[in-house]
Amino acid sequence: MSSTMRSGTASSDHDPTDASLRRLIADAMAESGEIISIVIGDHQGLPIMGLVRGSIPMMTVTAIAAMSARSAEEAAAEVDLDHPSRILVETSRGDLVMIPIVEERAYLIAMVSPRTDREGPLHVLDALAADVGAVLSRI
């Protein structure tokens, strides 16, 4: 099962921004088979676009991730650290990766299957976040 949304509403297959984001997400998931799901959410926790494999609703993924990311950002600020470039929740069943796209007030949120070497999918997700930021800046 997969879901696709933009700005909280069903997306149009004819919107060039939607098509660009969908292609970027699909390409990243094809490049790294460890990436299970990718969602782009806004700063309020609303889904912009994504591909979620499984039964977890996209709205749930973005809302929880946005809350977690905001908490991490506030914690970093409280101890005088820079804005986090990546927030990683590691578990034995997989990882939740949140990458702030600061200029666009958005987040890239991904679920990654468990593995020994995380650098492969994390590198793919970092590059995807930069590409998504470029697409969102044109809206």
What architecture is the 5-136 domain classified under in CATH?
2-Layer Sandwich (3.30)
> What average pLDDT does range 61-80 have in this prediction?
92
**Average model confidence (pLDDT) for the chain?**
88
Confidence at 114, pLDDT banded by 50, 70, 90: confident
Please report the pLDDT score of residue 6 as a whole number. Answer: 45
Q: Which is nearest to 113 in space by CA: 46, 38, 26?
A: 38
Strand partners, 6: 9
Q: Which residues contact 127 (CB under 8 A, 6 or more apart)?
A: 28
Distance separating alpha carbons of residues 106 and 118, to the nearest angstrom: 23
Kindly report the pTM of this predicted structure.
Answer: 0.85
Residue 39 to residues 34, 36, 54, 117, Cα–Cα distance (Å): 15, 10, 13, 22
Domain boundaries, the chain: 5-136
Stretch 19-47: mean pLDDT, rounded? 94
Query: What letters, b where the CB count within 10 A reaches 16 and e where it falls short, cover 27-36?
Result: ebbeebebbb
- pLDDT surpasses 90 at 116: no
Which one, of 96, 85, 91, lies nearest residue 121 by Cα?
A: 96
